[in-house]
Amino acid sequence: MSDMTQQPLPLPVDPAPPVDRPRHPHAYDDGSDEMDRFALLCRLWGSKWLILLVTLVTTLIVDTYALTATAPWTVRAYVAPPQLAQLEDYLARRQAVDRVSGINADPQAIANHLFSQFTQRMASPNEKRAYLSTTDYANQQTEGMDPQAREAWLTEMADNGLVVSPPDEKNTLPYFTLSVSADNPQAALALLTDYVDRINDKVMAKDEAEFRHHVEAMILARQKAQQDINNSLQTNRDNQWGDLARPSTTVPLIGGENDSANSVGQRETGRVLNLLEQLGQQPVTAQGYRYEMSPDEDVKKDRPSKALILGLGALLGSILGLGLALALDSVTRYRRD
């Protein structure tokens, strides 16, 4: 035998048995997602009557509320420049003054100017808030509100409840649109017509004040011209009487061509003054707009279509029904496990 000790060969060692580790409750093997989705659909199908019932009840509730809840009424009016026939007295007065001034004003330009002033004031946020703050409707709607809440209501109403829109160029509508919304048609119509009358009165009052100021300036100028004529006449007469007092072989004729011309000018100035004074005293009412369509012809209740309400109710009911079915299924499985 050899001196070397025979070493035994190592025996193969069996691998350690696999250790069963706890699986995560949401961990799935390959292909299990599709099976879980199918199982979920089966469970939801089993709750189909619950889902259907919740959908029907929710749709009925939404539809009933939408149809019975208070919806605002909107009144709409279309305004355009006034026709010249509406301004007959107003234009006659202006044209008489223009003739004295030597100005040939275009009647249509005057009408367009009035309408421009009217639409600018009508669209002013300050004008809208100032008007709304004085109305009985605003007082009723803001009764019991604190000052801050009242201001917020007035701002919201001026922005969205009393809307002035310029002409729609895309649809070639050459009219300004004024729409007013309120909780009943009578209030909406009253707000619209009162606001239009208020704005028109302000425009005409401003125009009348400017007109009177212009006439008064013309009267003062004519009075000064008349005084100058009188002074000139008196000076000529004084000079002529002075010439008579000096020795002379000839006697000058008192008066003459200059006095005749001054007298004519004096009479013409007096006539113009009398006309201007009469024009300045004549009260003239005019309307700087016209209704293209009467406000009471376009009164509508702002309510979404019934098809839209039913669709939204069904969608909401389906979501609630699926959510309730999933919740009940989770509770059932939890108790079973």
Q: Give 22-33 pLDDT, tens digit per residue.
A: 444 444 444 556
Q: Assign 3-state DSSP to the chain and report helix, strand, coil percentages, each to 5.
A: 65, 10, 25
Cα gap 204→210, rounded to integer Å: 10
Sign of CA dihedral 309, 314, 319, 324: positive
pTM (predicted TM-score): 0.60
Q: Residue 189's pLDDT is what?
A: 92
What is the full DSSP assignment across 273-292?
HHHHHHHHH------S-EEE
**What's the distance, CA 129 to chain centroid?**
11
The alpha carbon torsion through 260, 265, 270, 271 (nearest 10 deg) reads 110
The length of the chain is 337
Beta strands (DSSP E) in 153-245 are 162-165, 176-182
Q: Give pLDDT tens digits for 16-73.
A: 555 555 444 444 444 556 666 777 777 777 777 877 888 888 777 777 766 665 668 8
Mean pLDDT (whole number) for 177-202: 92
Write down the pLDDT at residue 228.
72
Q: Identify which has the larger pLDDT, 207 or 335.
A: 207
Query: By C-alpha distance, which of 64, 186, 82, 204 is closest to 136?
Result: 186
